[in-house]
């Protein structure tokens, strides 16, 4: 006896929407059991991470601030994922975005003017996009798999950050700490309401997601991305070039990750430090999938994942869960999501031990040979 996946025919829209909800729920239950076995109180772990932050209005602001970069990065990644361009390098592009804006900031420490912050943001997006252009060139010119090249560039970006912090960009007044000078008030994001944590990045994130939604559903470019992802051959029939789609996907993904980077640097951080990368670039991959690669879904998903960040910190202080707890819940969500996605389009079937020959149109897979093994 064996097991076999049998296609269910068309995956239903309902299942598509239900999968993320089931995945989150499955992650909570499994996480609770897991932490109970590890000697913690599993139920209170779930409570501290996923419920407690919601009961506190101050934490609500924190959620928005953490959700913003996740939503911005995930929106960019989702556009690429829709086109089957697998940019795993958002973390590096995020760092480069932060560095690009910081470079502008360091040049303008003695200046004032309303143009400085926009210039920093623009430079952040340019550096992020330029960093994503590396896998794009490698893919379109040499056929290098973008998953590997973009992922490995993350480590390069981290080393570049460490280098800049420890030597050329180090603030001489920082008593030897590896960090840049604090940004001036013209170089930091304005708050949306005084006395809160909510900075300009939050409305920007919402605006970007809404714009991306419009672009994907209403424009030729969005249609191009969807066509290339659904069927490269049909996209060629429609006159869409595969390599321009790769470029588009990586530049948009890199540009938005860079934007998230400089918004973080000029917002919550207010300077550049070696602790700048916090894994947003990786978490955003989970956000993108949990949001069904739909910008509106991503807005919702970014809150769920922001909750794991905020709640994870909460649980550390409240019940002494390790820092990795949040990561465990994040991973469980992705795991369950991918699993339920498979089950939404296939059903698991017990099979008799006989081989099931399948006809193949290419004429290379030997039906007869398969029978011969029996």
Partner 1 sequence: MTLRLELNGITKRFPGVIANENVSFAVAPGEIHALLGENGAGKSTLVKIIYGVQRADEGTIAFDGRKVEIASPHAARSLGIGMVFQHFSLFEAMTVLENIALGMDNPPPRRELEEKIRHVLNTYGLSLDPHRDVHTLSVGERQRIEIVRALIQNPKLLIMDEPTSVLTPQEVDRLFDTLRQLKAEGCSILYISHKLHEIKALCDTATVLRGGKVVATCDPAEETARSMAEMMIGGSLKDLSPKNDGVYGEERFAISNLSAPGEPPFGVSLKDVSFAIRSGEILGIAGVAGNGQNELISVLSGERTDGVSGVIRLDGSDLSKLGVGARRRAGLAALPEERNGHAAIGQMTLAENTLLSARGPKLLAGSGILRTGKAHDYARTVIEAFSVKATGPKAKAGSLSGGNLQKFVVGREIMTDPAVFIVSQPTWGVDAGAAGFIRQAMIDLAAKGAAILLVSQDLDELLELCDRLAVINAGKLSETMDVKTVSIEKIGLLMGGVHGEDDAAADAEMHRGKAA
Point out which residues bind partner 1 (CB under 8 A): 9-10, 218-223, 226-227, 230-231, 233-234, 236-239, 354-357, 359-369, 371-372, 374
Q: Smallest distance, Å, CB 340 to partner 1?
A: 19
Q: Smallest distance, Å, CB 136 to partner 1?
A: 20
For partner 1, the closer of residues 115 and 237 by Cβ is 237
Q: Smallest distance, Å, CB 74 to partner 1?
A: 22
Q: Smallest distance, Å, CB 147 to partner 1?
A: 23
Count of other CB atoms within 10 angstroms of residue 204: 18
Count of other CB atoms within 10 angstroms of residue 17: 13
Is the Cβ–Cβ distance between 259 and 68 less than 8 Å? Answer: no
Residue 61 CA to residue 67 CA, distance in Å, equals 10
Residue 42 CA to residue 29 CA, distance in Å, equals 9
For partner 1, the closer of residues 82 and 199 by Cβ is 82
123-139 as b/e, with b when 16 or more CB fall inside 10 Å?
Answer: bbbbbbbbbbebbbebb
Q: Smallest distance, Å, CB 357 to partner 1?
A: 6
For partner 1, the closer of residues 16 and 41 by Cβ is 16
For partner 1, the closer of residues 45 and 83 by Cβ is 83
For partner 1, the closer of residues 56 and 233 by Cβ is 233
Contact residues for 334 (Cβ-Cβ < 8 A; gap 6+): 23, 285, 286, 289, 290
Q: Smallest distance, Å, CB 238 to partner 1?
A: 4
Alpha-carbon radius of gyration of the chain? 23
For partner 1, the closer of residues 173 and 369 by Cβ is 369
Residues forming beta bridges with residue 348, ordered by sequence position: 5
Region of residue 179 (left: phi > 0; alpha: psi -120 to 50; beta: else): beta
């Amino acid at each position: 006896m064996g097991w076999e996946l049998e296609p269910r025919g068309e995956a239903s829209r309902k299942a598509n929407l239900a999968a993320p909800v089931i995945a989150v729920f499955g992650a909570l239950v499994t996480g609770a059991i897991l932490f109970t076995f590890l000697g913690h109180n599993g139920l209170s772990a779930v409570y501290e991470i996923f419920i407690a932050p919601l009961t506190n209005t101050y934490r609500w602001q924190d959620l928005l601030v953490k959700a913003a970069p996740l939503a911005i990065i995930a929106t960019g990644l989702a556009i690429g994922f829709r086109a089957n361009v697998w940019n795993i390098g958002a973390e590096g592009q995020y760092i480069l975005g932060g560095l690009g804006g910081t470079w502008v900031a360091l040049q303008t420490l003695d200046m004032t003017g309303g143009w400085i912050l926009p210039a920093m943001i623009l430079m952040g997006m340019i550096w992020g996009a330029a960093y994503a252009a590396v896998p794009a060139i490698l893919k379109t010119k040499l056929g290098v798999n973008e998953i590997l090249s973009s992922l490995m560039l993350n480590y390069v970006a981290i080393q570049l950050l460490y280098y800049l912090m420890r030597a050329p960009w180090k603030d001489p007044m920082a008593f030897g700490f590896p960090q840049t000078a604090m940004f001036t008030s013209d170089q930091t994001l304005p708050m949306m309401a005084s006395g809160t944590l909510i900075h300009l990045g939050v409305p920007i994130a919402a605006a970007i997601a809404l714009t991306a939604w419009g672009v994907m559903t209403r424009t030729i470019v969005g249609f191009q991305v969807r066509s290339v992802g659904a069927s490269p051959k049909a996209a060629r029939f429609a006159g869409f070039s595969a390599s321009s789609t790769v470029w588009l996907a990586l530049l948009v993904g890199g540009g938005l990750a860079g934007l998230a980077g400089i918004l973080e640097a000029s917002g919550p951080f207010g300077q550049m430090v070696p602790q700048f990368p916090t894994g947003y670039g990786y978490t955003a991959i989970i956000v993108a999938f949990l949001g069904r690669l739909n910008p509106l879904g991503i807005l919702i998903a970014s809150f769920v994942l922001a909750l794991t960040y905020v709640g994870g910190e909460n649980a550390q202080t409240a019940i002494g869960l390790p820092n990795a707890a949040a990561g465990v819940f994040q991973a469980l969500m992705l795991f369950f999501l991918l699993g339920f996605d498979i089950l939404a389009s296939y059903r698991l079937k017990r099979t008799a031990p006989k081989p099931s020959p399948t006809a193949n149109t290419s004429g290379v897979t030997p039906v007869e040979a398969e029978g011969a093994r029996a």
